[in-house]
Amino acid sequence: MSSPALEAVDLSKTIESGERALTILDGIELSLNTGDTLSIVGTSGSGKSTLLALLAGLDTPSRGKLSLLGREMSDLDEDARAAWRSGQVGFVFQSFQLLSGLSALDNVTLPLELTGADLGEARETAQRLLEQVGLAHRIKHTPRQLSGGEQQRVALARAFACRPKILFADEPTGNLDGATGAEVIDQLFELNAEQGTTLVLVTHDEDLAARCARRTRLADGHLREH
Amino acid sequence: MSTDRTSAVRLAWRQIGRSRRDGSAWILLIALVVAVAAVGAVSQMTDRVRAGMERQGAATLAGDLELELRAPLDEKRAAILDEIGVAHHGVTVFPSVVSQNDDEITLVSVKAVEDGYPLRGEVTLRRGDPGSPTKTVTRAPEPGTAWVAQRILDAQQLAVGDTLHLGDARLKIAAVLVIEPDRGQGFANIAPRVLIRDADVAGTGLLGPGSRANYDERIAGEPAALEQVRERLEPTLQPGERLRTPAESNRALARALDRADVFLDLAALVAVVLAGVAIALTARQHASSRLDEIALLKTLGAARGLIARLMAWQLVFVGAIGIGLGLLVAWLAQLGISQLIARAFEIQLPTASWLALWPAAATGAVLLAGFAWPALAQARATPPARVLARSLAEQRGRMWLIYAAALASVALLAAAATRDITLTAWVVGATIGGTAVLWVVALGLLAGIDRLRPRIGNRGGPGLRLALSALARRRQASALQIVAFGIGLTMLFMLVIVRGDLLAGWQADIAADAPNRFLINITREQQPAVAERLQQAGLDADFYPLVRGRLTAVDGTAIEDDGELAEQAGELTRRELNLSWIDDLKNDNRIVAGQWFDADDTGKPRMSIDTSVAERLGVDVGDSLTFDITGTPVTATIESIREIDWSSLQANFYVLFAPGVLDEFSATYITSLYVPDDAHGVIGALVREFSNISVIDIAAILEQLTTLIDRLSLAIELVFGFTLAAGLVVLLAAMQASRAERLREAALLRALGARSSWLRQATFGECLLIGLCASLLAAAIAQVTAIVLAVWVFDLGYAWRWPLWLMAISIATAVIALSGLASLREVLRQPAWASLRASD
Ligand SMILES: Nc1ncnc2c1ncn2[C@@H]1O[C@H](COP(=O)(O)OP(=O)(O)OP(=O)(O)O)[C@@H](O)[C@H]1O
Ligand SMILES: [Mg+2]
């Protein structure tokens, strides 16, 4: 397992806000092999979510290069990156980003629909995933009718849906109690073990960080491994 | 002010300031501005167009009001008119003969006018032969001169510059009179005209005691002054005297004006309904965005009262800003429109006052209250728990309240705007019925799409698949959008179709082959020969027999003996009426009561009368009328009452007897026909062969009507265009209501790997389906409503307008779909992360 799943060189993000530029990330260097598990910790506002979005190809860096699953991202336009992500990259947003008009089931079905899967099969898969995160009885409910933790689990099920090669998760257990959190963590690492999914996790959770093979801390725009 | 109240105001103001960024307040504001501007501009415009039309009508009377008198105006009443400050002058019309050519006596109608004639409209004159250029003037002939109709010149072999012998007077023929604005209509004024100055009347010696002359006082002034004239002169009217507006004296004009008037009302109504749709859509969104904030305030300990005041003040602020801006836009639009109208009608209109915009301001206020308040009140009832656990579903139970309030306010505004209950009832009915139909069909359709989805699978590509799944997922929201667009489009389509019917109806009135000549005085013996000559020349003509008789009794009561009845009957008894009979009901007649004659009635004493006669005499089916025909009384029972479309310019009769009843009396025949320019010779030959036959040329009247209708059509088009534009803006504003959700979804789909082309196809497809569904239903509902309006309100023929449907549907669908695409641009421009962060 030596093919790099992710390779970041001098990745930086500067935001022009008002008169002075705000440098959030400054020369991030990171290399991940397929099947690696990485945790990122850092204080609030240190730029963890920003980094995760950059690594997943959701955002463009101000400087530096990123190669994702063997493909140079900086050469690609928005569309080509979306196409590359589709079916290969999973993402759990810190604020879940569930569609409020859709039921839990439809939210999880969505990424499968995008890959062109058969609708009936896609629904079955989604249902199974929701059962797996313990929401079998809530599949018809919309996000507004679900608690924060339940929404988080829907977001996780959605990220699992395409069996991604690499999965980015922003505080995946942030809203969960110890027991439920542990269950979810188990599922994440099962995916890693069974399918070789590369995991990149932002977390405050010591237990979760401890289970990752590689641990990093983001501070002052720099990423340090320890 | 108590501190509590102050804090509500301050909080409300701050919240408005904050919502600068949340979009929904913007949309509410924009919808309000557009609504107020549309209603304001349309109502302003209809007012001015109405004023323009009235001026146009005034031209046909050469004044705004006509006071019919039996003698020249007395000094007392002249003083009243002078005191009010309106322009006025007298017009005297009397019959005479001209006989300067030895073997020809020409019956003429002399009209003597004062300086200042015509008060409205213009006179068309010609100096040379027929066909030479004409010119228009707005003055009376000089004393000592006369303007004379071509027919008199032809018959008497006179020319411009010759001297006309009129009674004892010798007048110089200064010009050929081509068109005088107040020519009158129909074949009442059959004799050709001589127009002279009042000062020359005495010199003719023709107006002695007992002579038959009509005296009119023509009056012109501002509407307020005219109202005053009516108020003060009406009580002074003696039997036989009448005060009439142009519409009251010219039936074709009255009908054209009436229809145009109703159309303008309809246009204003459409603007109101469209505005309502936009506000309803946006207020709902605005309210749901307020829910969280209200819940938070509650958890922070705000009392219900405070929150209610907060919401109220918020509405007041948004309302004040929105209505203010809307009025400003309306006023600016109105400035431009005035210019257009002034040019179209060639008149200068007084500038509008701000006060005249009050209906628009009221519309804004009522719309805001009717549509926005219920949604906000619902928000007020939000439990504070919502902020702790958003798991509590939104309350939806009171939605019916919102719709009821919305409808009530639309009905109120519609009634206020038009003061026409029938029209309002139809429009409100169409709105309710349309909403129900749209809602049911939309839900059914969406359910059907959901069913079909698995079967279509991926066959149409990911774009179509995403479009269908978006529709199915947001079923309620999609249905709401279909209903909203549907209602808006129904209104617009209805306007399009009614406008088409209206213009087509008018065009039919002045169709190229509308009759332009009447032949009268044809004897029973001559009739077959005349018919044959006309047929040989390829001219179509229907002949109607004509017997003259004087109305003498109603239901056996002699009119002479009953003063009240005599006054009611007025003109009907003073002159002989043309009585006729025909087998089949004519196209331009419509039975409103009773039944048309059948074979059994032949020879029985039955008759059919015009509605105006029935109203005047206060008679109904079953009553009887007695006529004196050459000394013989003939009594018949009224079997039916007809409404005559006088705008057809065909020969028509107030009183028709059952066939066979009048056979014993000697009848003459009359026909109206269209004579093309190259067939003049035929008529000339006919008149030479049968010298007793008279020809009446109504081409000039037709021309006047054509000009009038051309201008009315232009006015209608102006208002129509504006309402259409305003409607589109309103619909686009409504489209914005779903924009935020659409953007968020697009951003997420992109993060999940959707390509731009898919998103474009999906949005295009979704909007296309919504647009197609809404516009198809709207076209169907609008067509049905338009037919109902055409038949019941406008009294017009109607047609299924397929090409129009096709055009309207495709334009509406394209606009909706393209505007959906346009809203995607922002998402497609930036990385997914930026959109997601922004939408959070
Ligand atoms: N588009 C933007 N405009 C302005 N500031 C931004 C933008 N994106 C990120 N920032 C700023 O960059 C910093 C890092 O943001 P980020 O969301 O990555 O933090 P984080 O480490 O995920 O924090 P938390 O643990 O609280 O989620 C913050 O101070 C944020 O305000
Ligand atoms: Mg974060």
Q: How many angstroms separate the Cα of B610 from the Cα of each of B96, B252, B256, B544, B557?
A: 32, 16, 19, 17, 20
Overall average pLDDT of the B203-217 stretch:
81
Highest mean pLDDT, choosing among B46-50, B205-209, B418-422, B623-627: B623-627
Chain B residue numbers touching A113 (CB-CB < 8 A): 465-466, 469
The rounded distance, in Å, linking the Cα atoms of A153 and A147 is: 10
Task: Write the DSSP string, B95-143.
Answer: EEEE--STT--EEEEEEEE-TT--SSS-EEEESSSTTS-EEEE-SPPPT
Whole-number Å distance between alpha carbons of B608 and B761: 66
Give the pLDDT confidence score for residue B721 in this predicted structure.
72
Residue B677 has pLDDT above 80, yes or no: no
Residue in this structure with the two tokens 């003969």, named with its chain if needed = B97
| A144 touches B at CB < 8 Å | yes
Confidence check: pLDDT of B563 > 80: no
Pairing of strands A198-202, A71-72: unpaired
Residue in chain B closest to A109 (alpha carbons) equals: B469
Identity of residue B93: V
Q: Could you tell me which residues are beta bridge partners of residue B643?
A: B590
Q: Are B88 and B81 in contact (CB under 8 A)?
A: yes
> What is the complex's ipTM, to 2 decimals?
0.89
Domain locations along chain B: 3-56+255-509+706-839, 65-244, 541-673
Q: Using a CB-CB distance cutoff of 8 angstroms, which residues of chain A are in contact with residue B827?
A: none
Provide the residue type at A57 as one letter.
Answer: G
Instruction: Please name which of B433, B53, B429, B434 lies closest in space to residue B263, comparing C-alpha atoms.
Output: B53
Residue B790 is given by DSSP the state I
- Which of A112, A145, A170 is the mutation pick for testing B, counting most B CBs within 10 A? A145
Region B767-784: what's the mean pLDDT? Answer: 86
Q: Looking at residue B390, what is its pLDDT?
A: 43
Q: Which helix (H) or strand (E) is B94 found in, with range?
A: strand B87-98
C-beta of residue B211 within 8 angstroms of C-beta of residue B94? yes
- Give the other-Cβ count within 10 Å of B432's Cβ: 14
Output the CA torsion sign for B648, B651, B654, B656: negative
Using DSSP's 3-state secondary structure scheme, residue B726 falls into helix
- What's residue B383's pLDDT? 65
The pLDDT value recorded for residue A131 is 93
Residue percentage of chain B with pLDDT more than 70: 78
Question: Best of A46, A95, A173 to mutate for ligand 1, by most ligand atoms within 8 A of CB?
Answer: A46
Residues having CB within 6 Å of any atom of ligand 1: A 15, 17, 24, 42, 44-50, 94; B 837
Interchain contact, B832 vs A146, CB within 8 Å = no
Percentage above 90 pLDDT, chain B? 10
Distance CA B282, CA B739 (A): 11
Q: Is A59 on the interface with B (CB under 8 A)?
A: yes
Q: Yes or no: say if B426 and B789 are a contact pair by the CB < 8 Å rule.
A: yes
Tell me whether residues A82 and B756 touch, CB distance under 8 A: yes
Going from the Cα of A197 to the center of ligand 2, the distance in angstroms, rounded, reads: 22
Q: Please, what is the average pLDDT of chain B?
A: 79
User: Considering Cα of B806, then B810, then B813, then B819, what sign does the dihedral take?
Assistant: negative
> Contact, B207 vs B199, CB < 8 A?
no
Strands B87-98 and B242-244: unpaired
Q: Is the predicted pLDDT of residue B389 greater than 60, yes or no?
A: no
Instruction: In whole angstroms, give the CA distance from residue A59 to residue A52.
Output: 9
Q: What's the CA gap between B20 and B35, in Å, rounded?
A: 20
Predicted pLDDT of residue B391: 38
Instruction: Report pLDDT digits (tens) over B266-319.
Output: 777 777 777 777 777 776 666 666 666 777 777 777 776 777 777 778 778 888
Domain annotation for chain A: domains and CATH numbers: 34-62+82-225 (3.40.50.300)
* Ligand 1: residue whose CA is nearest its atom 6: A15
The torsion angle over the Cα atoms of residues A187, A193, A198 and A204, rounded to 10 degrees, is 40
**Which structure tokens are listed for B6?**
């102050």
Residue of A nearest to B758 (CA): A114
pLDDT of residue B511: 63
Distance CA B329, CA B325 (A): 6
pLDDT digits (tens, 9 = 90+) for B592-610: 989 998 888 888 899 999 9
Atom of ligand 1 nearest to the CA of A48: 21
Mean pLDDT of B249-259: 68
Q: B466 to each of B450, B455, B472, how far by Cα in Å?
A: 12, 14, 10
Q: Residue A186: what pLDDT?
A: 87
Chain A residues within an 8 Å CB radius of B744: 99
Contacts of B390 in chain A (CB under 8 A): 144
Average pLDDT over residues B412-422: 72
pLDDT top residue among B727 and B206:
B206
Q: Is B658 left (phi over 0), alpha (psi -120 to 50) or beta?
A: beta
Residue of chain B with shortest Cα separation from A83: B753
pLDDT of residue B187: 41
B112-149 pLDDT tens trace: 999 888 888 888 888 877 667 888 888 999 999 999 98
Judged against a pLDDT cut of 90, whether residue B791 lies above it is answered with no
Q: Does pTM surpass 0.90?
A: no
Residue pair B737/B282 in contact by the 8 Å Cβ criterion: yes
What residues in chain B have their Cβ under 8 A from chain A's Cβ atoms? 389-391, 393-394, 453-454, 457-458, 462, 465-466, 469, 473-474, 477, 741, 744-745, 748-758, 828, 831-834, 836, 840
pLDDT attached to residue B732: 67
How far does the centroid of ligand 2 lie from the alpha carbon of residue B389, in Å?
22
pLDDT score at B186: 42
Q: Which of A58, A79, A100 sits opposite B751 (nearest CB)?
A: A58
| Residue to test with chain B: of A16, A50, A55, A78, most B Cβ within 10 A | A78
Higher pLDDT among residues B796 and B160, named by residue: B160
More confident residue, B694 or A96: A96
**What does the pLDDT look like over B11-45, one tens digit per residue?**
777 766 666 555 666 767 777 787 788 778 777 77
3 state SS of B545: strand
Mutation site for B-interface testing, chosen from A11, A58, A147, A166 by largest number of B Cβ within 10 Å: A58
**Regions in chain A scoring below 50 on pLDDT:** 1
Residue of A nearest to B745 (CA): A99
Residue B395's pLDDT is 47
Q: Which residues contact B147 (CB under 8 A, 6 or more apart)?
A: B123, B125, B141, B173, B174, B175, B176, B177, B194, B195, B196
Question: How much is the average pLDDT of B333-356?
Answer: 65
